[in-house]
Structures are given as structure tokens and as C-alpha cells.
A and B are shown apart, each in its own frame.
Chain A
């Protein structure tokens, strides 16, 4: 899987409780995959294992240049995290930051994007979403649908390879 995301035999435990048992998955660029299962079956844990949690067994490959195993360093896991965008069920927008700040904080602090450039790009995105007038508002002023759109675009413009 030269350009895609591959999970091979990934397992994850929380103490004595197994959350994932040897899960394997291939995802191609542009492919949309639904993971369906009952509550508590490990769907969210599976997604969190791609860059947020350290796995206990198995291997995760992203493209041909990124491999994460249980022995990987925090830097290697961080590199995977940096290449994957996670959008959570509850969106988790930062309620004390404005809509504009929700879009610009991570790129300026993490990726070193100059504040003016980040702001210009964020304003352009908000324009495309019809949210220009909400740039200075706090997230509680947004509807659920607009909140989810905002969290999604918070990841997209800054070069994540997978969302």
C-alpha cells in the first residue's frame, strides 16, 4: 500500500481490558470507509490508535515512509498524528477561542505558519462555508452542523494526509 494507510494486527488494551484485538485495515487515498459496530466495540479506540494512542501490538503504515509500532518513539507517533486529521463525535471546538482562533491556533503554534497568512487562509475558508460573519464569534453561537464543518476544516487546510 504505497500511498495509503495500513493497519496490521493492531491490538490495544486498557489495563486488563482488551479494546482492540488484532485489527487490520487498508485505506486508499480518497477512499471513504465506515467502521460500524455496537457502542463500546472499539471504533473510537481504533481511530485514536492512528496517532493518538500507543498501540500494544501490530503496526501502522502511512504511505511508504511512516511506520508506527508499539516500540515507536513519541516523536514517531507525533509524526503520524501530524499527518492524520481526527474529527471527534462531539467536535470539541475550543469554547474560549473565537471561530477564527479555532482555525488559526494550531497552524501558528504547531506548524509555524505566520499569523497573517493563517488568518487570511482561515478567513477564505470561512467565506467558502458562509461563516465570514461568525469569525469573531465564539463556537456556542454556531449550529451543530456549522460546528462540525468548522472542526473538519480546522484539519483540512494544513496538509494532513488523512482525515
Chain B
């Protein structure tokens, strides 16, 4: 095949390391999705609050992490933050950096979804004496989900792929472990092919699940 002699045996002998790296990648992605979503919702609520100072602060934070490359954020948190007395492990740095990025984007997705629900829905609900919390939980968010789920699922898939950036700060995720395997087997094509297949195997079910959620009748109309 093109003169190159493919040989996966050397790479497969490190299958335990690849499985461990896949689990680390999954753990990183899962924590990032949970923390990033909760933070994103909090940022959205702060942004939409009537308080101008809180809203401006949430807006500013969102803009910072939407406009900075994730790689730069990870490197800054890992290398610059310790000079202010905050030393995080490589894994924690990756969780924080990726979560801040996801939060910044998801807050805008939540805001757009909530704003897509006609204002009259809130007003009619308040007229029936539902509280603000009941209106948000029972009326606004279920309708907003129709708008929120498609772009949010895209961000989740993107987040799983962004975990590969954690390799630059030596988190033992797939790409980093792949590099280590290359350094001892001298088989880069096989190693990258193997980890590509693992990424594909991890992300494809997620795409399928998100596709199902997008098709869910959040809204009957």
C-alpha cells in the first residue's frame, strides 16, 4: 500500500494504554459537558437577570472565553495561573479550560432558546399565577429545548474532540498516549490510525444519541 508496510502489532501491544487513554478522554469529556452546561446555564440566567452589573459581568465572561482559543486558555491556566498561587493538575486544568469554553458557548445557546419562546407565553403563565420559577421550568424551558438541543448537541460533540488539546499539557488522553506509543514503536501512521478509530467509536454513538434527542418531540407543534 503505497510502499509503506503497515504493521499494527506493535501498536496493539499497547492496547491497555489505549483503553486507559480512552477512559481518561471519556471522563474528561463527561466532566466538561456536565460542568460546562451547568456553568453555561448559570451564565445565561445571570445575563438575563434584570441586574445590569450581573448581566454585564456574565456577558464579559462569556465573551472572553468565546473569543480565546481553547489551547491558549489551557496553556495559560496550566503555566500562568500558578504564578498567582493557583496550581491545578493537568487533568483539572483541562476540565476547567474546556468547561469555560463550553459554558461560554452554551450560555448563548440557552439564551437564544429562551428568547425564541414568545413573550406572551410567559405573560399568559404569570396571568394564571404561576411563579417565575414554575414558568421557567414548566413553560419556557420545555419549549426552548426545541431550539436549544440541536446546537448544544453540536457543541457537546465538538467538546469531545477538543479534549485532544489536553495532550499539550500532558493529560494522558488519547492523543497524548498515541504520541507516547509512537515514541517507543516508531509507528506513527498505525498509532494515529488506531486512536482515530477509537475517537470515531466514541463519538459516533454520541452523534446517534444527540440525533435521537433532536428528533424528540419537545414541542408538539
CA separation between A155 and B121, bound complex, in Å? 15
With A88-B124, A92-B120 given, is the CB distance from A110 to B221 under 8 Å? Answer: no
Closest to B219 in A: A96
Residues of A within 8 A of B143 (CB): 94-96
Residues of A within 8 A of B123 (CB): 48, 52, 88, 92
A36 to chain B, nearest CB (A): 22
Q: Pick the contact of B139 from A51, A86, A90, A94 — CB < 8 Å?
A: A94
CA separation between A18 and B143, bound complex, in Å? 33
Question: Is the Cβ of A109 less than 8 Å from the Cβ of B120?
Answer: no
Q: Check if B20 is an interface residue, CB within 8 A of chain A.
A: no
Interface size on A, residues (CB 8 A): 27
CA separation between A86 and B129, bound complex, in Å? 11
Residues of B within 8 A of A140 (CB): 220-221
Q: Pick the contact of B219 from A95, A98, A109 — CB < 8 Å?
A: A95
* Residue with the greatest number of chain B CB neighbours at <10 A, chosen from A86, A96, A138, A155: A96
Q: Pick the contact of B124 from A78, A92, A96, A109 — CB < 8 Å?
A: A92
CA separation between A153 and B34, bound complex, in Å? 42
Residues of B within 8 A of A (CB): 118, 120-121, 123-130, 134, 138-139, 142-143, 218-221
Q: Contact string, A88-109, partner B, CB cutoff 8 A, digits 1/0?
A: 1011101110100000011001
Residues of A within 8 A of B120 (CB): 88, 90, 92
B155 to chain A, nearest CB (A): 23
CA separation between A140 and B217, bound complex, in Å? 14
Closest to A106 in B: B128
Question: Is the Cβ of B129 less than 8 Å from the Cβ of A138?
Answer: no
Residues of A within 8 A of B128 (CB): 105-106, 110, 154-155
